[in-house]
């Protein structure tokens, strides 16, 4: 599923603040869609963090060998 990066960014920012989240949802009348974008954004963020952690571990192993 392709997701507009701007919407993901907005969802992340606004969902950090409960009041702003409600304003955002009412403003666009698409609370469910916004929440789904936010959940998707969080999942993608977690995947990126896990990949970065794996890369960091590999780099640490390489450093220890030399």
pLDDT score for 11: 72
* Domains of the chain: total: 1
Q: DSSP for 4-64, please give it.
A: -HHHHHHHHHHHTSHHHHHHHHHHHT-HHHHHHHHHHHHHHHHHHHHHHHHHHHHHHHHHH
Return the pLDDT at 50: 76
Q: Which domain holds residue 21?
A: 5-65
Helix (H) or strand (E) holding 3: none
Per-residue pLDDT of the chain (66 residues; tens, 9 = 90+): 466 777 777 777 766 776 666 676 666 656 666 677 777 777 877 777 777 777 777 666 666 665
User: Could you tell me the pTM of the whole model?
Assistant: 0.34
Encoded tokens for 4: 């507009």
Tokens 């571990």 belong to 57
pLDDT of residue 29: 59
pLDDT at res. 56? 72
């Amino acid at each position: 599923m392709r997701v507009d990066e701007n919407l993901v960014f907005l969802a992340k920012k606004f969902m950090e603040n409960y009041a702003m989240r409600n304003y955002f949802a009412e403003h666009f009348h698409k609370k469910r869609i916004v929440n789904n974008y936010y959940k998707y954004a969080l999942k993608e963020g977690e995947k990126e963090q896990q990949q970065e952690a794996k890369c960091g571990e590999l780099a640490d192993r390489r450093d220890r060998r030399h």
